[in-house]
Amino acid sequence: MDDKNMMKYKLKPSVVYRKEDDGALIYDHESGNMKPLNETAAAMCEIMFMELKSKEDTLSAIKKVWRVTDEDLVRRDIDEFIEGMKKLSFIVPVD
């Protein structure tokens, strides 16, 4: 396993996370960026960026909650989610 899979991120201090009935809403009061998250994305956000789990730990947690048949697809989804959160400047690497 490479270091990239063990990398951890956290929400920036300026980011507010609000749990909703059908997911969550994430807002950065510095940039004004806002993004609604569906239930799956909200779970990934909580696991990775609030509980500070690695991608592989996140995959394991998702497998426990949902029936995952294609781990590679979930890994790609996690990678895309991280990249999207980076582009909106919602997350920073954990030191």
Give the total residue count for the chain. Answer: 95
The per-residue pLDDT for 41 is 93
Predicted confidence (pLDDT) per residue in 2-61, tens digit: 556 678 999 999 999 999 999 999 999 999 999 999 998 999 999 999 999 998 899 988
Q: Residue 23 has which token pair?
A: 């997911």
pTM: 0.87
Predicted confidence (pLDDT) per residue in 53-75, tens digit: 998 899 988 888 888 888 899 99
- Provide the CA 46 distance to its chain's centre, in angstroms: 7
- Give the residues across from 86 on adjacent strands: none
Burial (CB < 10 A; 0-12, 13-18, 19+), residue 17, is middle
Whether residue 39 contacts residue 23, with contact meaning beta carbons closer than 8 Å, is answered with yes
